[in-house]
Amino acid sequence: MPGILTAISIKNGFPSMGSKEVLGMARRMADQTGERVAAALVGARVSSCQQELAAWGADVVYLSENERLAEFHPNIYLKVFQDIAAEARPHTLLFPAEPPVMDLAPRLAFRLAAGLVTDCLDFKIQDGKSVLIKPVYGGKALALLRVTTPVILATVRARTQEPFPRDASRVAELVVVDSPIQSIPQEMTVIDRIEEESEEIKLEEARIVVSGGRGLGGSEAFQRLRQLARILSGAVGASRTAVDAGWIPSSHQVGQTGKIVAPDVYFAIAISGASQHIAGMGGSKIIVAINRDPEAPIMRIANLGVIEDYRNVLPALIDEFSRILNKG
């Protein structure tokens, strides 16, 4: 039986990036313990994703497909995941830290009497047992946690894991789990769904992020950030203070209460670097900070710090990158 079970989110007909990342983490665990990796594929009309999950590292796919699962209803999904866990009997469950599965994780942990560790960044195998690693104190320290319950459930922070290299030739065993959910009442009703239209690259998936903070002084400056981001084929981010001021929509917020990003390059422009913001972008490979204050916290973690008013630096960056990349 599989020792590790991962929860899968389907977006636009494909496994989400977070789902691929937890499969990658599960594979690394399994390679050290010699166990198999399972994926819980739950929803309506999702069976076509079975091969994709195999390609991204699953050895077994537990499929529960039902029209009542087209929308996320926590109590209905809870029943399905309980039934899958009863069938798979895993000792470790890994959930991507993304909606809606984060809503499900604590409920399922209670039902399974499982120890729950949220916001995991990594793991170690010690004496045959998993030790989970998560940030504490706003990312200032790391805690190593050994769970003593027979079953462990963990949510995994986005952009902290490398997906398993995709192999289209891999084949996974399929186990169909038919949960009796027809009589379970819905706790809520979806009245309407409104999605923000955007031609920009998704913030969580961008390789380059250009973020602005309170020091920009207003919404107009974000137009210049968007210009730089377009030239670099990147995305625009923001600090919580910029979002709270109404300068940019909340979908661009980076931080502990926003989105977690880990791009190749992160431009922190006029951002002081509060701990909650650093918690959302501290995993970036290269951090470029532009700030007038040499004592700003962001300067302590920046790979390159420019101590200057951003208005004197940003136009030069736009012009130079435009010239180098031949973009107007």
Superfamily of domain 4-176: HUPs (3.40.50.620)
As a whole number, the mean pLDDT across the chain is: 93
pLDDT at site 91: 95
| Model confidence pLDDT, tens digit, residues 236-249 | 999 999 999 999 99
Using DSSP's 3-state secondary structure scheme, residue 302 falls into coil
What is the DSSP annotation of 272-299? ---HHHHHHHTT-SEEEEEES-TT-THH
Cα 207 from chain centre: 14
| Model confidence pLDDT, tens digit, residues 23-64 | 999 999 999 999 999 999 999 999 999 999 999 999 999 999
Residue 2 has pLDDT above 80, yes or no: no
What does each C-alpha distance from 302 to 135, 162, 318 come to in angstroms? Answer: 19, 23, 20
Q: Are 76 and 100 in contact (CB under 8 A)?
A: no
pLDDT at site 1: 59
| Model confidence pLDDT, tens digit, residues 249-303 | 999 999 988 998 989 999 999 999 998 899 899 889 999 999 999 999 999 999 9
Tell me the CATH architecture of domain 203-325: 3-Layer(aba) Sandwich (3.40)
> Could you state, in order of their start, the residue ranges of all structural domains in the chain?
4-176, 203-325
Distance between first and last Cα of the chain: 57
Residue 199 has pLDDT above 70, yes or no: no
Q: Do domains 4-176 and 203-325 have the same CATH topology?
A: yes
